[in-house]
Structure 1
Amino acid sequence: MPVPTHRSGAVGATATADAALWLGTLAQQFPELLTELLPGRTSPSGDRQHRTPARLAAESARVRAERQDALLTRQRHGLTAPGYSAAPLRLPISDAIRDITDGVIELEEAVYDKLGLGRPRRAPVPERLGRLVRLLHRVAAHPVLAAHVRDETRRMARRCSHALGDTEPMVRVSGRCGWCDSVSLRAFPSRGAVLCVNPGCRCDAPECDCRTDPAYRHLWERAAWARLAEHGGGDLREITEAVADRPDGAAR
């Protein structure tokens, strides 16, 4: 059944608002992936003192195969002149760069095609991300496209964060979810929002995809926090402070 027009706008606006957050994360973290390719760089999660002898031996055995892969990937992104390089590269980093680069190109081409803009000109990933951000207001008018942009940018941002060894911070807040009545509310400072992390939670809001997408969680933005706290027995001040917080680790 087609989505009514007044709901289509809400669905598209919600999806593109989420996409804007994921695009911002990608724009910030993708250059960090490229930096990981530079000689002498190691991943934050790759501290040698925490590696077992077996893991160190396995990594050493892969170095020769990774050197050629490192050279090709760095040349592709203009990080080295043509020639021999002995700097090894961890495969998860190069794989993530390829996946995200291809994903951004394909996503931008899909957006341009749907909006009738022809074919986007070639450009580095950060520039393509900026162009996508500037088109989000037009993407919002197409709910299916908006959902696709949100899903793809979310996937790529998480892939990027995982490759860098980052974990998205979240903070437990008091109160119960207004939909599933569980004590599963978490504040996500990086998103500026509160989510229910109960995998079984489903709402009946037409603009929310938690009913159809297992990876999606119901989200409350700032305008809905007061009502969430009132109906769930939570504390609005606690929610506000939790979202404003910037913890260094994971959930606490």
Structure 2
Amino acid sequence: MADHRPTAQAALWITTLLQQFPELAVELAPGRTGPGARASVPRAPADLADRLREEREEALLLQQRHGLVVPGHSAAPLRLHISDTIRDITDGVVELEEAVRERLGLPRARRAPVPERLRRIAELLDDVAADPVLAAHVRDETRRMARRCARALGDTETVVRISGRCPWCESVSLRAFPDRGAVLCVNPACRCSDADCGCHDDPAYRHTWDEGEWEHA
């Protein structure tokens, strides 16, 4: 029987990415405010790299020669760590979808924006669950990208302490993450009884229950 836990965790990370990735485009130019701020960033993330590289090179050249900044950018400078995050996640999602489809023997997917690609990956998670290696890879990659996105946005996820002790390690280390719909044991030494769970081989992994599982735990 397929283990659906890695793909259930991947589904949570995909949901987080779908919520947060569009915010990166808004954060590119933090000086732009007002009702039209969101509409003023029409470029797709995949189209940003060349423009940002040119602007970075131009700004560096002006600074080296004259100590100047690029005209028109002082009021609303592009935040290069945000653009780097957009590029990293965009490339990561494209590569992940290609890897999933190749492993499942599916034809190459048509080009699409990041959110659409994420939804297509989510639709394949039931098939992914039958391949433990692929499932773990999808979980790890979606987790990595969601964490990078959150760090770039400076988000602090809502965390609620849960009374009682962890069923596995007996420590008072249970936390609920409402945005993810998940309960985690935050004790780094916690290990569950399932040898295939990520808590055994990934120091950054924490045993996770979704809300439905926790209600019956």
**What is the deviation of 1:214?**
1.0
Q: Does 1:28 align with 2:15?
A: no
- How many pairs does the alignment contain? 185
From 150, 174, 177, the equivalent of 1:161 is 150
Contact 1:70 1:89 in 2 (8 A): no
State the match for 2:79 in structure 1. Answer: 90
State the match for 2:55 in structure 1. Answer: 68
State the match for 1:186 in structure 2. Answer: 175
Q: Distance in 1 between matches of 2:135 and 2:202?
A: 14
Q: Distance in 1 between matches of 2:16 and 2:213?
A: 24
Q: Distance in 2 between matches of 1:225 and 1:129?
A: 26
Instruction: Label 1:34 to 1:160 Cα distance change in 2 as closer, same or farther (>3 A).
Output: same
Q: Distance in 1 between matches of 2:30 and 2:214?
A: 47
Alignment of 1:114-129 (within 5 A): 114-129=103-118
Instruction: Give the secondary-structure state (helix, strand or coil) at the position aligned to 1:186.
Output: strand
Q: Does 1:18 align with 2:18?
A: no
State the TM-score, normalized to the length of structure 2: 0.77
From 199, 204, 208, the equivalent of 1:215 is 204
Q: Distance in 1 between matches of 2:132 and 2:208?
A: 18
Q: Does 1:111 align with 2:100?
A: yes
Contact 1:107 1:152 in 2 (8 A): yes
Structure 2 residue identity aligned to 1:216: Y
Instruction: Give the secondary-structure state (helix, strand or coil) at the position aligned to 2:200.
Output: coil
From 88, 92, 99, the equivalent of 1:99 is 88
Instruction: Label 1:118 to 1:186 Cα distance change in 2 as closer, same or farther (>3 A).
Output: same
Q: Distance in 2 between matches of 1:116 and 1:182?
A: 44
Q: Distance in 1 between matches of 2:194 and 2:131?
A: 18
Contact 2:173 2:185 in 1 (8 A): yes
State the match for 2:139 in structure 1. Answer: 150
Indicate the percent of aligned positions where both proteins have the same amino acid. Answer: 66
- Offset from partner CA, 1:173-214 (integer Å, 9 cap, x none): 111112211111111112222211011111112442101111
4+ aligned runs moved over 2 Å, structure 1: 37-42, 84-87, 220-228
Q: Distance in 2 between matches of 1:70 and 1:97?
A: 19
- Offset from partner CA, 1:36-70 (integer Å, 9 cap, x none): 2247348xxxxxxxxxxxxxxxxxxxxxx988149
Q: Distance in 1 between matches of 2:102 and 2:9?
A: 21
Q: Distance in 1 between matches of 2:57 and 2:27?
A: 11
Q: Does 1:198 align with 2:194?
A: no
**What is the deviation of 1:15?**
1.1
- Between 217-226 and 122-131, report the one with greater CA deviation: 217-226
Instruction: Label 1:226 to 1:117 Cα distance change in 2 as closer, same or farther (>3 A).
Output: closer
**Over the residues paired in the alignment, what is the CA RMSD in angstroms?**
2.5
Contact 1:192 1:221 in 2 (8 A): yes
Q: Distance in 2 between matches of 1:39 and 1:196?
A: 36
Contact 1:67 1:85 in 2 (8 A): no
